[in-house]
Amino acid sequence: MHESTSVQQTESIAAEMSARFVGGEVVALQGELGAGKTQFVRGLLCGLGGQPRTVSSPTFVLLNVYDTGRLTLYHLDAYRAAGADDFEAIGFAELLEQQGVVAVEWPQRVQRLLPANAWQVHLSAVGESARRIEIISPP
């Protein structure tokens, strides 16, 4: 369990996590609106060697792709997805085969498509800028 008191600290926690990634990881990001899921993805990108300021929420486009030079980060948002069929239509299964890092916001909407070895990240707002972050590594 991590406690974050700022956006920068949230990003740092995520960067530390992703710096060890080798490719093929899936990160399922759960939390209410405004809990810090997109900030966490910024940190993941930073830890992979990318430019965090390029990250934006893919709520309306479903998928953003960030090339870091080391590993590609695929950032998906299932919030507006009608269900797993929307993710299947954009080639989600193929993304999982690319050996990049796949980060999915609102994963409960596409749960059946996620691999059993996905990292689980639960973000909770506990104050205006404070967050509780629980990271569950794959079995």
pLDDT tens readout for residues 31-50? 988 888 888 999 999 999 88
pLDDT in tens, 100-131: 999 998 898 888 889 999 999 999 988 888 89
How many Å apart are CA 18 and CA 125, to the nearest integer?
22
- 15 is a domain residue: yes
CB of 80 within 8 A of CB of 58? no
User: Is residue 93 situated within a structural domain?
Assistant: yes
The 3-state DSSP class for residue 30 equals strand
Does residue 79 fall inside a structural domain? yes
The helix (run of H) or strand (run of E) holding residue 12 is helix 7-18
Nearest to 41 by CA among 6, 75, 65, 86: 75
The CATH number of residue 108's host domain is: 3.40.50.300
Q: Could you give the percent of the chain with pLDDT greater than 90?
A: 37
- Close Cβ partners of 40 (under 8 Å, ≥ 6 residues apart): 10, 11, 13, 14, 29, 103, 121, 123, 133
In a domain, 138, yes or no: no
- Domains identified in the chain, total number: 1
Q: Per the domain annotation, does 24 fall within a domain?
A: yes
- In DSSP terms, 26 is beta-bridged to 102
If one counts every other C-beta atom within 10 angstroms of the C-beta of residue 75, the result is 27
Residue 98's domain comprises: 2-131
The HSE-up count of residue 9 (CA atoms within 13 Å, CB side) is 11
- Convert the pLDDT of each residue in 80-92 to its tens digit: 777 777 778 778 8
